[in-house]
Structure 1
């Protein structure tokens, strides 16, 4: 029977990491402990509250595509989430070159309140079973299912108490394993946890959020009629881009800060509420956003990314949907500069803010499919050259000063 219901994964959009090939150290993972240790290096971050499934190909067990989705809060949604996740990864693997020969599954959730890691593992058992059934229905066996919680891991598959005891096994200390050494050698980074990366893009709270929402209200009264009026829309766009460039220069000249949290606090302090409100509303114009997307490389990329993150944090209250623009730009700059894990997270958050935001849809799909971003970079460079006035060329037979 065909299921025609709208796909429903409540917690976030699925992010698929394509298989990567190329030179580098080859690591053989022989045990559940080694699989558990490898997970953050496969994704580029420590997943939190996540279902992760990984395709395995060939007799040697080469890892292929990886998919991560949030675990729904309601157990009634787990079977549908398992079905969609399995179908997305397996069908995607088929499109990219071959059906997986097996699947490895990870369930990652931290205890809440007085709950223990073992209780988390037992509570998630129906989800583990649902993923095994969903993969089996597509004729792909599940080779291992691990639960990671409270610094320990459990196998739902291995019955051997010597390697997988009932109380769970401790995860290796960060940076101490063979996998960690190999990843460092290969230049792979683990960019913190999913919660930490999302936290850098999430809206501010408290009194600051109230002040910011009032600034957005004021800006909307002033700017929105001008944006809707064709006679003044171009002027608003030019003012928005000039303000953005000014703030990027301000951020470039700011003294360095200690750690991601300190850096975000510094950037928030550099950005006034009224400035942020004008930029957030100005970026809702597609043409303005497309010009801003050109700041994607070289010396423009770092301050642009800082600015887009800061603006995403200012999309508070009734203006939550407005975050789609700065989140998409943050995802694009991250992808363009080689940080695919952060790009997928930012683009997924953009689609949670506005599921119909077309630019985020296109970038999210392209990033998940392993498309090279250079094609889009070339288009944006060409558009920039076409739009900007030509520089004066020296006359024939003369040298420029």
Structure 2
């Protein structure tokens, strides 16, 4: 989100602001944001829109509590809280009917705010073409989303559902072939572990990650052309923490694009039968995307990684870094130190 102060024109302005909070159009989401009188966001939290209505009260309470904790020093009387409910475009009732279905979420959010002495000044239901105010009484047919002012144009921003779909495990004949390759690789890896132990496998895998990224950097190999057996070996061994950490450490300027290409290729190659194995490369893709300045992709990738394997330590670690506002160069300094202690110093 730009640091430029923006004067918002009522609910319409809030709708125009929404994608700029994330650098993408959130869908299947509930968002709570603090907004200054000049229209600048004070902090915002997002969560998936629960399909089960019994989860709506707890989600509302968690969002308000999280926003209050994160922005406690900023929530002055002249500031306001606004909520957005963004349905899943795949919902068969997408539009006016789904707005009515999800109306209780706004009531839960308002109640959670009231219990904390906060005021929810607006809740907006946003589809791709229309918006509704959820706090007004009486019938509301919704309003078409008008053309935004130039400073709030979001034409080039991706939609979260499209990005998440691109990161979903692959299906079809190629996925079946890759699953068979992974099955064979699992058996081979099991034999190696029995004969040489886990550490031998980890050491070889660290060398393999380093060598693969080096070849991608020089252009001797393209990530999309990596053989299935090599991709399978990487997908399996990246599940070891030390191998995964090696991937994080390859974060120099001359390595980032190649590493990002590798992680994305592995995520695309991972079949649905091995969905949980896609979580690490997707999370590593999130890290390299963040390092390359693509915050929108990085956060969506973390969401995709969490969907593949809930509770993955790497995902939670990276989310903490992103939410803390950490500087990438500061993070890279620590990665360089670890890389040196591992006997794998930075090279051009």
Shorter-chain TM-score bucket reads 0.7 to 0.9
How far the C-alpha of 1:385 sits from its partner, in A, is 4.0
- Confirm or deny that 1:219 pairs with 2:219: no
Q: Helix, strand or coil for the counterpart of 1:106?
A: strand
Alpha-carbon separation, structure 2, partners of 1:191 and 1:180: 11
In the alignment, what sits opposite 2:132? Answer: 154
In the alignment, what sits opposite 2:161? Answer: 195
Aligned 8 A contact 2:209 2:247 in 1: no
- Confirm or deny that 1:98 pairs with 2:53: no
In the alignment, what sits opposite 2:12? Answer: 33
Task: Summarize the Cα distance change of 1:230–1:370 in structure 2 as closer, same or farther, 3 Å threshold.
Answer: closer
Aligned positions of 1:260-279 closer than 5 A: 268=224, 270-279=225-234
Task: Summarize the Cα distance change of 1:390–1:253 in structure 2 as closer, same or farther, 3 Å threshold.
Answer: closer
Aligned 8 A contact 1:104 1:144 in 2: yes
In the alignment, what sits opposite 1:205? Answer: 171
Aligned positions of 1:126-145 closer than 5 A: 126-145=104-123
Q: Gaps spanning 5+ residues in structure 1: where?
A: 1-19, 184-188, 255-266, 392-401
In the alignment, what sits opposite 1:44? Answer: 23
Task: Summarize the Cα distance change of 1:294–1:108 in structure 2 as closer, same or farther, 3 Å threshold.
Answer: same
In the alignment, what sits opposite 1:260? Answer: none
In the alignment, what sits opposite 1:85? Answer: 63
Aligned positions of 1:343-354 closer than 5 A: 343-354=298-309
- Confirm or deny that 1:234 pairs with 2:203: yes
In the alignment, what sits opposite 2:35? Answer: 56
Alpha-carbon separation, structure 2, partners of 1:103 and 1:390: 46
Aligned length: 341
Alpha-carbon separation, structure 2, partners of 1:240 and 1:302: 15
Alpha-carbon separation, structure 2, partners of 1:321 and 1:65: 31
Q: Helix, strand or coil for the counterpart of 1:378?
A: helix
Alpha-carbon separation, structure 1, partners of 2:330 and 2:319: 15
Alpha-carbon separation, structure 2, partners of 1:66 and 1:134: 16
In the alignment, what sits opposite 2:257? Answer: 302
In the alignment, what sits opposite 2:141? Answer: 167
How far the C-alpha of 1:136 sits from its partner, in A, is 1.6
Could you list the per-position Cα deviations for residues 238-267 of structure 1 after superposition, in whole angstroms to 9, with x for gaps in the alignment? 2343234435655x876xxxxxxxxxxxx6
What is the root-mean-square deviation of aligned Cα atoms in Å? 2.8
Taking structure 1 as the reference length, what is the TM-score of the superposition?
Answer: 0.76
Q: Gaps spanning 5+ residues in structure 2: where?
A: none
Aligned 8 A contact 2:132 2:143 in 1: yes
How far the C-alpha of 1:277 sits from its partner, in A, is 0.5
How far the C-alpha of 1:192 sits from its partner, in A, is 0.3
In the alignment, what sits opposite 2:239? Answer: 284
